[in-house]
Amino acid sequence: MEITNITKSKEGLIETHIQAILEILAEDPQREGLKKTPARVAKSLCYLTSGNQQSLDKIIQNALFSSAMEDMLLLKDIELYSLCEHHLLPFIGHCHIAYVPNGNIIGLSKIPQIVDFYARRLQTQEDLTCQIAHSLMKLLHAKGVAVIIEAQHMCMLMNGEKSQQGLLKTSVMLGSFRRDAHLRLEFLGLL
């Protein structure tokens, strides 16, 4: 079965269940504002979890290049959107990534694509930070990789205690960023 047929089938199942959820919530799925909601939610959920169906190799393709660069490269303020696996609510923020090359670099546009690849699945911010860092370390055979994610979690803003001020920051430092305090301080200072 083709990917599009699988996606359509998956969307159809989700749509059916969303309609049932609306009914359980005492809503009328046939009222004007809700008629298309199950289909919209199904399409949205399939897109927001599409990282599970993608391949990192397809994203990277031939975007690794030889380079004599030996100092830190930093890309900051990469927009990030993901879904918390605990509540299926979004967390939204920015990712900052630095690496020290070890003979090769990656095409600049591929870094946000890697962030998206891992962000488009159900998970925690903590795991997302680790996935991005370890993936880049392995892919680039880098001397070091540093990743920091800063995000607001809708589950915290909308549920329970409704804390409006919370911003979760997670970091992973690998290789030279873990061993070399000066490099780590340079990275943090550039943020």
Q: Which residues contact 67 (CB under 8 A, 6 or more apart)?
A: 101, 103, 104, 105
Q: Hey, is 141 helix, strand or coil?
A: coil
Active-site position among 153, 164, 182, 186: 153
Give whole-number Cα distances, 25 to 18, 29, 30, in Å.
Answer: 10, 10, 14
46 is catalytic: no
155 is catalytic: yes
Please count the CA atoms within 13 angstroms of the CA of 189 that sit on its side-chain side.
7
Q: What tokens appear for 39 in the block? A: 């289909």
Active-site position among 19, 84, 96, 123: 84
Active-site position among 46, 54, 87, 134: 87
Residue with tokens 């490099």, as numbered in its chain: 183
141 is catalytic: no
Active-site position among 19, 123, 125, 131: 125
84 is catalytic: yes
State how far the Cα of 91 lies from the Cα of 46, in Å rounded to an integer: 17
Of 75, 84, 82, 79, which Cα lies nearest the Cα of 124?
A: 84
182 is catalytic: no
150 is catalytic: no
Active-site position among 53, 85, 126, 141: 85
- Residues known to be catalytic: 84-87, 125, 153, 155
